[in-house]
Structure 1
Amino acid sequence: MSRLSGTGMTLAYDKRVIAEELSVEIPDGSFTVIIGPNACGKSTLLRALSRLLKPTAGTVLLDGADVHSLPTRTVAKTLGLLPQSSVAPDGISVAELVARGRYPHQGILRRWSTEDERVVTESMAATGVADLADRSVDELSGGQRQRVWIAMALAQQTPLLLLDEPTTFLDIAHQIEVLDLCAELHERQGRTLVAVLHDLNHAARYATHLIAMRGGKIAKAGKPGEVLTADLVEEVFGLPCRVIDDPETGTPLVIPRKRAAAPVTAEA
């Protein structure tokens, strides 16, 4: 059984329904990427899986139990979330923000420990922000801030990590930097990652499992080579394209078709 799944979900904001009868299963140990056009329900699905949004029908299961029936601390020890827009408190340092990832492990009788200190130090080292520990988060570049937020999520030590558009607003170099880091977490630490991405070629390169969405439904799910075909890209995104093998990785590479030249009109 998958540790994280959703069955027969209706997802809505007030009376605005985003998806109905939506079912999804996240393979254990995968780097799952959710793709689809704007407003198709990608981030809404991620919010439901992370317990931020309760389905009006259907169920999200975490380790076989309804995620909304579980204590908050239990969920926080199992499932970490990096939201789309993360805002740090004014003046907080990198080390202080990363340390907040240890809050689920604290309690009335359990205070800050040498184990907490070790985990925070290792999380900052793993994300390449150890030398920024005393810097204010406000002073950092977008790429550095994103690494700090990932370090905080790492400090939670959750086997499941959900990331909503982790490369948004980053330049291409920092996008690759963050995705390389995510791939390392998946490959070296065996974590199950679920990310929403817009770039199809990034999704194909990094994912082990793809979920393509359209209009609040799953259009197709499976390995990138099975999902990312020219027919599917045109069906889901309305984009005529060719799909070839990436010369660097062998993964699918989406090449949009050349735009037809505008007809030349003769002058009167």
Structure 2
Amino acid sequence: MQSVTLRINNIACRYETTNVLENINFSATGGDFIGVIGPNASGKSTLLKSISKVLKPHTGVVLLNERDVYTLKSAEIAKNLAVVPQESVISFAFTALEVVLMGRTPHLNRFEMEGTKDLIIAKKAMELTNAWHLRERPINTLSGGEKQRVIIARALAQEPKALLLDEPTDHLDINYQIEILDLIKRLNKEEEMVVIAVFHDLNIASQYCDRLILLSKGRIFAAGRAGDVLTRENIEKVYGIKVTVKQDDISGRLIIHPQRKRMTKATKGRVHIVAGCGSAVSLMNGLVDDGYNVSLGVINIGDSDYITAKALELDVVEEKPFSHITEESYEKNLELIRQADYVILTNIPIGFANIKNLKAAEQAENLIIIEKEPIEDRDYTGGEAIKLYRQLRANATLVGDSHAALQILKSMESQAKR
């Protein structure tokens, strides 16, 4: 595959009169894997939109092979550059295969139908993302994780030389996170594909990216290798939290450990949360604000829920990134669950890496389950998680979101005091 170059020269973007990005400069060539990190509203997604010709910069220029992308036809850009957005809205009930075949559109002439070659390329892309078995299912019936794998397959079907991804693993269970990111990393190196990806998880960014760009308030705060960007001082200034940064014993990559900072004194009952993928951020903040004694586990280091829990000074049972729950962590989690007056299980994907959390939840005295999607759409264990979840569900209080969980918890506490 012939490599491409991307050059972002002094771009600035705004929405109406609000400046979102200013003075952004960097370049990428074949084989570069660049991670874009930063707090919410720092301009990460806007940067990708600007590069991909969705949002034209107010000033500056984006060059693809030294040509301004805003002077190129969309089909020409799509032959070189594919995008996996944070959210993909597909209004019609296309099958998963039909969606992936849409990635072949830039390579077809006007009114030309897909041929055998296009089908072979689409099939390969779906096999690479472990989505071929979904080919005949309507896209609007797929779970978030399944849909995300199809969207990534569609991007690969374009046969791009550069790939832009906006938080690509947000909807994926841990095993698919590793699988997809390993695939992207392999294509990045073997095919010299340029990869620019937005990550909210600093540990994942450290694990996979050759270079990082840390954004703060629309500007580049730091850029370079992970060791130069992910420093304790940089993270504290940009994210407003104190952390410990150390090197992983196995991978040699950096691991970020937030330090404790509690804002509210706990005066109410004990609540243990089983969560992940950022599903309990607002819940933990709400519980702490209401004065509950909150704990969390088992959770992988670097997960958004982990970072929030550490910042709130909660008791946390943790595992290394991408690791299965060990017996030691399982026992620690069991102890916190047994001590808790209430246990809350959030709407998380369940794979073999975290299925022990369901088993531990069986010991809950009062279990509240936040259910936004049926377990069948979140099971990655071949049915084992479904069986355990249904047993839990039969004896639990069901709610639809974190706010409802807080309300039902207050009601249960009020009744217990009578």
Q: TM-score, normalised by structure 2?
A: 0.60
Deviations 1:18-59, CA, capped at 9 Å, x for gaps: 122222222431111100011111111111111111011111
Q: Where do 5+ consecutive residues of structure 2 fail to align?
A: 267-418
- Indicate how the Cα distance of structure 1 residues 259 and 135 shifts in structure 2: closer, same or farther if over 3 A, else same: same
Residues 102-121 of structure 1 aligned to structure 2 (within 5 Å): 102-108=104-110, 110-121=112-123
Q: Which residue of structure 1 lines up, in the alignment, with residue 79 of structure 2? A: 77
Q: Secondary structure at the match of 2:238?
A: helix
Distance across 1 between alignment mates of 2:265 and 2:64 = 57
**C-alpha distance in structure 1 between counterparts of 2:263 and 2:43, whole Å:** 34
**Equivalent position of 1:91 in the other structure:** 93
Paired AA for residue 179 in structure 1: L
What CA deviation, in whole Å up to 9, does each residue of 1:128-177 have, x standing for no partner?
A: 11111111222222211111000000000110010111123444444334
The one-letter code matched in structure 1 to 2:197 is: A
Alignment check: 8 A CA contact 2:148 2:172 kept: no
Conservation of the 8 A alpha-carbon contact between 1:2 and 1:25:
no
After TM superposition, list the pairs within 5 Å mapping 1:79-228 onto structure 2: 79-108=81-110, 110-228=112-230
Q: Which amino acid aligns with 1:180?
A: D
- In structure 2, which of residues 209, 227, 237 is the aligned counterpart of residue 235 of structure 1? 237
Which letter maps to 2:233?
D
Write the distance in 2 (CA, Å) between the matches of 1:149 and 1:247: 34
* Distance in 2 of aligned mates of 1:31 and 1:117: 28
Q: How many residues align?
A: 264
Normalising by structure 1, report the TM-score: 0.91
Amino acid at match of 1:60: V
* Structure 1: gaps (5+ residues): none
1:96 partner letter: E
| Paired residues for 1:257-268 under 5 Å | 257-259=259-261
Greater CA deviation, 116-125 or 188-197? 188-197
Shift of 1:109: 7.3
SS in 1 for 2:90: coil
What one-letter code is carried by the residue in structure 2 that aligns with 1:59? Answer: V
**What is the identity, as a one-letter code, of the residue corresponding to 1:86?**
S
Can you list the C-alpha shifts for 1:181-207, whole angstroms capped at 9, x where unaligned? 322332343311111110111110111
Counterpart of 1:89, as a letter, is S
Moved more, 52-61 or 22-31: 22-31
| Residues 92-124 of structure 1, C-alpha deviations (whole Å, 9 max, x = no match) | 111111000000011137542222121111111
The residue aligned with 1:21 is 23
Q: What is the rounded CA distance, in whole Å, between the counterparts of 1:59 and 1:47 in structure 2?
A: 13
1:118 is paired with a residue whose SS is helix
| Residue 254 (str. 1) matches residue 272 (str. 2) | no
- Coordinate RMSD, CA, aligned: 2.2
Query: What amino acid does structure 1 have at the position aligned with 2:211?
Result: H
Query: Deviations 1:190-237 (Å, cap 9, x if unpaired)?
Result: 311111110111110111111111111111111112211111111211
C-alpha separation between the residues in 2 aligned to 1:48 and 1:238?
A: 27
* Equivalent-residue separation in structure 2 for 1:61 and 1:194 (angstroms): 15
Distance in 2, matches of 1:10 and 1:252, equals 31
Q: What's the % identity of the aligned pairs?
A: 38
Deviations 1:62-117 (A, max 9, x none): 11011101121111111111111102233211111100000001113754222212
Mapped to 1, the partners of 2:257 and 2:6 lie a distance apart of 33
* Contact preservation (8 Å) 1:33, 1:195: yes
Matched position secondary structure for 1:239? coil
Larger displacement relative to structure 2 (106-115 or 121-130): 106-115
